Amino acid sequence: MRAVVQRVRRAAVRVEGETVAEMGPGLLALVGVAREDGPDAARELAHKLAHLRILPDDEGRMNRSLLEAGGSLGVVSQFTLLGDARKGRRPAFTEAAPGAAAEVLVDAVADEARALGVRVVTGRFGASMDVDLVNAGPVTILLDTARRF
């Protein structure tokens, strides 16, 4: 699984003008699922998100996790993270998991994070979403459970 993680002051997800998710300070994770991903990858990503120490401590240093700081986690599916644009000008999405399989794993990331005690909000899988956020820092981290980077 692949994720673009942004530390945010706040974020919201809208579908056709309707707000489907809102959150305050925490992390917003745009999550893509690869064909070879399974439940272990979802569990690993959820644990990494819950324990990633990029929230500020009392001295302003990136030293706290969501669990320590009490922040929220936004999980938004984004299959385009698996786009391969190394050849030509049009990305290929052949590495992205089919929708039904990807939905199960994106939901598993959210469920596992909740089980760890993180407050989680989600987008709407498969929908065309407008994601508004205020990136704090800015801080943006790339994660890949297959460790391709």
Q: How far is 76 from 59, CA to CA, in rounded Å? A: 30
- pLDDT at residue number 149: 83
Which residues form the catalytic set? 78-80
- pLDDT at residue number 29: 98
- pLDDT at residue number 145: 97
Segment 115-139, tens digit of pLDDT: 999 999 999 999 999 999 999 999 9
Domains in the chain and their CATH numbers? 2-127 (3.50.80.10)
Segment 75-131, tens digit of pLDDT: 999 999 999 999 999 999 999 999 999 999 999 999 999 999 999 999 999 999 999
pTM for the complete prediction? 0.95
Segment 27-57, tens digit of pLDDT: 999 999 999 999 999 999 999 999 999 999 9
| 117 neighbors 71 (Cβ within 8 angstroms) | no
Contacts of 82 (CB under 8 A, 6+ apart): 2, 32, 33, 34, 93, 95, 96, 97
Residue (of 114, 143, 23, 124) closest to 74 by Cα position: 23
